[in-house]
Amino acid sequence: MTQVIDRRVNGKRKSAVNRQRFLKRFKLQIKKAVSESIDKRSITNVGNGKKISIPPKDISEPAFHHGQGGQRENILPGNTDFIAGDRINRPPKSGSGSGSEASNEGEGNEDFMFELSRDEFIEFFFEDLALPDLVKTQLTAATDFKSIRAGHTSDGVPTNINIIRSLKGALARRIALRAPHKKHLRDAEEELKKAIEAQNEAAASSLRREIELLKKKIASIPFIDSFDLRYNNRTLVPKPTSQAVMFCLMDVSGSMDEERKNIAKRFFTLLYLFLTKNYEHIDLVFIRHHTTAKEVDEDEFFHSRETGGTVVSSALDMMHKIILDRYPTNEWNIYGAQASDGDNWHDDSAVCKDILGNKIMPLVQYYAYVEITAERHQLLWKEYETIAEIQSNFAMQDIKGLEDIYPVFRRLFKKQMA
């Protein structure tokens, strides 16, 4: 006897555990692939799932097989023009699938490719990293309220009257209150008809009076009563701040070459990715500067070249202005990331310290500064160091080459011990 069972309902994602095991097992390789992949993408694009490839050597499942070589005889189908004894040249390597068919499947030389979901990708990226004080900020940031619908009430201000509800109520009330009068009216009208037929004038005139009275009663039932009114109700719910703005500040003076910009891009990308994990909505503001600062789009930010001297404070000033104009701190979590080669107009560094320390730091959740230089630190670094001493949400690092970026990032946002 056959049984038919519908299994679609249960046992979904049975292999999820195995998939997790696979990812766990090849964590190192996957991480490497993940960090290699970021510089090929635009900042906002990095988080969208990622094809990962791992060298086949690392994940092969070895077993004893025969390798190439030796002597073997194969049967093939579809002979067209060979006869026994023919000698033929060996086919080129790539087309040699005929020989060792099924025996060594999965042993190809190509990389093993698969796709990580967005979450998995970011998880790999940010494993055991966390922005300091992030949790705290999120918990206390609920200063904003939003009002949401919460049913209806019988009391409220006229602007909130819900017309449909109110009229529905009125209609019901009218029908209910009229019903008994209408019944009497019908009865009375019938009796009146009989009385007229019987030519009983006295009875007829008293019935006519009654009918008139009943009609008046029906007419006096109000179309709408204050009793019918319904008001939309709204309640206030605390709204967690779920949006952040990230300021990318970069020095584009002549001394920042392509390689340095590339490093900076990585740094910004990493920060962006981290924020996407924690916030629903993120604005990016790109400010580039040499002697003057300018707000630009991403493409221009990374790709156009300028020359000239460097006045860092111009960018900081602009950032401060933009925050005041567009990003009120009660609605936005503000993050700043600044990349520079450390060059600055000599007199300007003290100004930078002043703007950053006194104006910007009180407004931002976190500010990170990276200096991309192989040389000695200049005055800007020293000034910033004094800020780092006072402010716990300020971090600074120097980076020497492309290979430094990832470890540096980890150090920057390392989970702080409580």
Partner 1 sequence: MSNQYISTSSDWTFEQIMRYDKEISRIASAYGLDTYPNQIEIISAEQMMDAYSSQGMPLGYHHWSFGKHFVSTEQNYRRGQMGLAYEIVINSNPCIAYLMEENTMMMQALVIAHAAYGHNSFFKNNYLFKTWTNADAIIDYLLFAKNFIKECETRYGETEVELLLDSCHALMNHGVDRYCRPSRLSADEERLRQSEREEHLQLQVNDLWRTIPQKENKDTVANEPNYPSEPQENILYFIEKNAPLLKPWQREVVRITRKVAQYFYPQRQTQVMNEGWATFWHYTILNTLYDEGLVNDGFMVEFLRSHTSVVAQPSYNSPYYSGINPYTLGFSMMSDIKRICENPTDEDRHWFPEIAGSDWKKTMDFAMRHFKDESFILQYLSPKLIREMKLFSILDDDTRLKLEVTAIHNDDGYLQIRRSLADQYNLSKREPNIQIHNVDRNGDRSLTLRHTVHNRQPLDKSLTDVMKHLTRLWGFTVRLETIDEKNKVEVAHECIVEN
What residues line the site for partner 1 (CB under 8 A)? 1-8, 11-15, 17-26, 59-80, 82-90, 97-99, 101-104, 107, 112-115
Amino acid at site 62? P
Element (H, E) at 215: helix 201-219
* Residue 416 bridge partners (DSSP): none
Q: Please tell me whether residue 289 adopts helix, strand or coil conformation.
A: strand
* Residue 248 bridge partners (DSSP): 286, 337
Minimum separation from the CB atom of position 276 to partner 1 (A): 24
Minimum separation from the CB atom of position 298 to partner 1 (A): 30
Nearer to partner 1, 10 or 220 (CB): 10
Nearer to partner 1, 97 or 151 (CB): 97
Using alpha carbons, list the distances in angstroms from residue 4 to 1, 7, 10, 13. Answer: 10, 9, 15, 22
- Angle, helix 258-278 to helix 405-412, in steps of 10 degrees: 40
Q: CB–CB of 134/241 below 8 Å?
A: no
Minimum separation from the CB atom of position 92 to partner 1 (A): 13
Minimum separation from the CB atom of position 218 to partner 1 (A): 58
Distance of CA 71 to the CA centre of its chain: 59
Minimum separation from the CB atom of position 47 to partner 1 (A): 19
Nearer to partner 1, 60 or 291 (CB): 60
Rounded CA-CA distance 54/10 in Å is 33
Nearer to partner 1, 76 or 219 (CB): 76
DSSP state of 193: H
Nearer to partner 1, 86 or 155 (CB): 86
Q: What angle do CA 352, 358, 359 make, to 5 degrees?
A: 85
Minimum separation from the CB atom of position 42 to partner 1 (A): 24
Amino acid at site 261? K
Nearer to partner 1, 18 or 159 (CB): 18
Candidates 25, 276, 241; CA nearest to 126 is 276
Minimum separation from the CB atom of position 107 to partner 1 (A): 8
Nearer to partner 1, 74 or 226 (CB): 74
